[in-house]
Structure formats: C-alpha cells, structure tokens
C-alpha cells in the first residue's frame, strides 16, 4: 500500500513524540519516502538528528533554512504538493485547535493548510484534555474537512491517569492508513495464494537438483496483488528475496513436497491462486545421509516423479480462480492449451524461451495470457513488475465478467 508513496509526517510537542522514531522506521520499511516537519516544542521530546537519520531526509523545523552561510526558506507549498498523504502524529490539543480554526504560526500548520493530499491525524493528550468539549469540537470539525482521525486508545497516560487519550501505536497507525488506502481497490477482501521460485531436491546433505528460477515473477505478483488490496500468501522456494509487508505472509519452502503441503494448506480459503513456481518434476529416489564422495568416473542417480501441485489443485478446485505458468520451447501455444485443459485451469501464462528477455534470471518477461475459453492475449516485453500488473488485470477482468 505504501510502497513508493511520499509521506509528510508532522510531529507536535507531546510526550508521544518519542514513538515517531518507530513510526518513521515502519514507514521506510514499507517502502515509503518520508519527510518530517517538527514543531519547535516537539524537538524537546525527539531528536531531529534521529528522525533525519531514519527518514534519510533533513528534518524541517522552521520557515527559515540556513546552510553554508546563506539563508533560504522551506517552501510549505512545495512540501504540500510533494506529499501523497500527510500524517500528523502526535496531534496535540493545541495543534488540533489551530488546524480546526485555520491558525498558522509555524511551518507544520502552513504546510497543512497548503496540502492537497489526504491528511491523517493521531490525537495524543491527557484524559481530561481529550474529553474536553473544545477538543471534541476540534476533532469533529477536522473530520468534517475530510481529514481522517486515527483514534486515540486507552491506557496509562503521562500524568499517571489511566484512560483515553493515548496515541495509537505505530503499527496501528500504519495499519489504519493501509486499510484506508485499500478501500475500493479491486482485490480488497480477496485472498491470493502465489507460489514462486525453484524447488531444490536433495541428493545428499550438500547437493541438490534444482533450476535457475529466482522467484522474481512470483515476488512481483505478490507485491502487485497486495497493492490492489489483496491479502497474500506467498509460498517461496529457495531464494534471496524477502518481503516486509503486513499484507503478505511469506512461507519459505525447499522441496517440491514442502511446496505441495504448504500450497494445499492455504488453497481452500483462497480466492485466486497463481502457481508461478518452477517446481522440479523429479527428485532423487534416495537421499544420502552423508556427502557422496568422488570415487568413480560416473555417478548414476535414480529419479522419481514429484507430485504435480498444479494438477492436484485443479482436481480439488471449487470457487478458486486458478492460474498456471507454462515455460515452453516449441509448439508453445498448443502445449499451453493442453496444460490449461488437463489441469482444469482458469488461465495460463505462457513464457517462451525463444523470446529474448523472457524466462528465468532476468528483470524482464514476455508473456501470452490464455484463458479457459482459449482467448489469447500476447504482451510485449516488459519488466516483471509490469508483467505482474498485466496478469492481475487480466484476472480481475474475468472475475468481474
């Protein structure tokens, strides 16, 4: 949800400001670009240097900017235009009142009044202040302007009292914004199961049978599905890839048997299933307990067939939209059609190793999308991120048909 988004974080002078170091870190880990505006009083609670280090941007505290013996100004209009969303956390009673009434006596308030983007605010104050009629009026007025309030929670307060007024925790703030952004997206409420990467079939404790798949195509599909509002499970074979996204559950597996078990574990409750993994068709019949020593000129390894994950899913399909991948080198379209029908798929994504830039190991792919009615739609060579978007758009189009 937040990957690539420009987020302007305004921090005001309350004790809850100390939590913003964790908040900035979470936003950065979610892939956002963060700039921080700190009020003068807020700098008493949290260090500008810490926030600048975490956000990877200078922290702004006033209109005037002095650098290298020259004086310049921080342009609040440009800041407001830069942001895809603005978050004010903590929002004190003082700042809330000024926001509600159009007061403008610092850089944060000037930027708020200039912002064209969605504004979120997370109140934080003591119990009596939070319950005061003037604060309630400010909260209601700000929401009537179209701003979104991230409700305060109950707990121990700085005064020693226990009650409502505690700023929402950073994780809850992040989740609130992600949920807001996901509303109305085409895959909101959908569960998407994706397999990706190779499988390694062990020969002995140090050797295996495998392939060159990196898992990047499935990885991009998982990110794209999440950005469209889906709750995603990614079953990933051996890969250097990692995901830090609360909407994506990453299940790491090694062998085809492990991928079979993990995929079936989540299959029944999935709405869309995309099998992009390059699963080994065969595995060694026996696995040596110790490393096989180099003795003879030849080594014979007997292989047995692995379970066909995609076929088994097709046989058990109920309401899932099931998509497979086919990597072909000859008679590509016809072979893909046979696989689509045999495995009871709703669609198949065809790769041809005859197409330059397609297949394993690269950052690009060239696909042909074929649905169960044998409608064939070829695409040009694109980045795998763009290919993932194309695949999901084709699926969404058929879900809503």
The catalytic site residues sit at: 211
Contact 35, 79 (CB under 8 A): yes
C-alpha neighbours within 13 Å on the C-beta side of residue 392: 28
Phi, psi of 245, rounded to the nearest 5 degrees:
-150, 120
Q: Quickly count: other Cβ atoms within 10 Å of residue 242's Cβ.
A: 9
Give the DSSP H/E element, type plus range, for residue 376.
strand 376-378
Instruction: Please state whether beta strands 347-352 and 282-284 pair in parallel, antiparallel, or not at all (unpaired).
Output: unpaired
Contact 108, 88 (CB under 8 A): yes
Q: What is the Cα–Cα distance from 201 to 284, expressed in whole angstroms?
A: 7
Quick one: tokens of 192? 């998407």
Q: What is the Cα–Cα distance from 139 to 147, expressed in whole angstroms?
A: 9
Q: What is the Cα–Cα distance from 258 to 356, expressed in whole angstroms?
A: 32
Secondary structure (DSSP) of 54-110? HHTSPPB-SSEEEETTEEEE--HHHHHHH-SEEEEEEE-HHHHHHHHHT---SHHHH
Find out whether the peptide bond into 39 is cis, omega within 30 degrees of 0. Answer: no
């Amino acid at each position: 949800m937040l990957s690539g988004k420009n987020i302007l974080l305004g921090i005001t002078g309350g004790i809850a400001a100390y939590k913003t170091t964790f908040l900035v870190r979470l936003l950065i880990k979610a892939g956002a670009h963060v700039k921080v505006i700190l009020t003068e009083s807020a700098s008493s609670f949290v260090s500008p240097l810490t926030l600048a280090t975490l956000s990877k941007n200078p922290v702004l505290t006033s209109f005037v900017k002095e650098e290298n013996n020259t004086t310049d100004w921080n342009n609040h209009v440009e800041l407001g235009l830069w942001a895809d969303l603005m978050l004010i956390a903590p929002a004190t009673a003082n700042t809330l009142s000024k926001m509600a009434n159009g007061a403008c006596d610092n850089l944060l308030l000037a930027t708020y009044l200039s912002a064209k983007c969605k504004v979120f605010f997370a109140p934080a104050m003591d119990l009596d202040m939070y319950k005061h009629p003037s604060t309630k009026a400010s909260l209601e007025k700000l929401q009537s302007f179209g701003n979104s309030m991230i409700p305060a929670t109950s707990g121990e307060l700085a005064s020693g009292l226990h009650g409502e007024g505690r700023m929402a925790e950073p994780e809850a703030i992040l989740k609130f914004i992600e949920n807001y952004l996901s509303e109305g997206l085409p895959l909101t409420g959908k569960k998407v199961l994706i397999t990706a990467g190779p499988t390694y079939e062990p020969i002995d404790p140090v050797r295996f049978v495998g392939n060159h798949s990196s898992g990047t195509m499935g990885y991009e599909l998982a990110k794209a599905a999440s950005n469209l509002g889906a709750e995603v499970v990614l079953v990933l074979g051996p890969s250097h890839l990692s995901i830090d996204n609360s909407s994506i559950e990453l299940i790491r597996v090694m062998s085809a048997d492990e991928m079979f078990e993990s995929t079936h574990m989540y299959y029944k409750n999935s709405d869309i299933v995309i099998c992009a993994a390059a699963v080994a068709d065969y595995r060694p019949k026996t696995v040596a307990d110790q490393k096989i020593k180099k003795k003879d000129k030849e080594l014979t390894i007997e292989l047995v067939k692995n379970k066909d994950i995609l076929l088994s899913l097709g046989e058990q399909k109920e309401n899932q939209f099931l998509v497979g991948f086919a990597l072909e080198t000859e008679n590509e379209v016809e072979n893909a059609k046979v696989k689509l029908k045999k495995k009871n798929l709703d669609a198949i994504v065809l790769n041809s190793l005859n197409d330059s830039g397609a297949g394993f190991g690269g950052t690009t792919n060239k696909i042909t999308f074929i649905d169960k009615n044998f409608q064939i739609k070829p695409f040009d060579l694109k980045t795998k991120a763009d290919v993932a978007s194309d695949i999901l758009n084709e699926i969404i189009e058929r879900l809503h048909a």
